[in-house]
Amino acid sequence: MKLFKKDLVLTKDTTFKESIKVEGDIRGKDGKRFNLTVKGNITARNIDAWNIDAGNIDAGNITAGNIDAWNITAMDIDAGNITAMDIDAGNIDAGNI
């Protein structure tokens, strides 16, 4: 597992070949959004990306155009479109599920 002690700031579409844990937020530099692909799990405080593809996503808040995941555990999800096998969340606010 790759550990980030602070925010993970994306400057381009990014792929990780292992699970990642981010003690801060995952966001794009200067408010831009990029695609994030993780060949494992994502654990982070907040995630802001165009597309998120991972085996499991555990976050306080997710804002994304598309989320493709086997499992999502979050307190709040705000997204235009969510595609997932299983969603477990306290609140989901989405244009399409």
Predicted confidence at residue 94, as pLDDT, reads: 84
Distance CA 2, CA 22 (A): 8
β-bridge mates for residue 42, sequence order: 20, 57
Task: Indicate the helix (H) or strand (E) that contains 25.
Answer: none
Calculated CA dihedral for residues 35, 83, 40, 29, nearest 10 degrees? 20
pLDDT confidence bin for 80, thresholds 50/70/90: confident
Predicted confidence at residue 85, as pLDDT, reads: 87
Model pTM score: 0.88
Average pLDDT over residues 61-87: 90
Instruction: Report whether 29 contacts 10 (CB < 8 A).
Output: yes
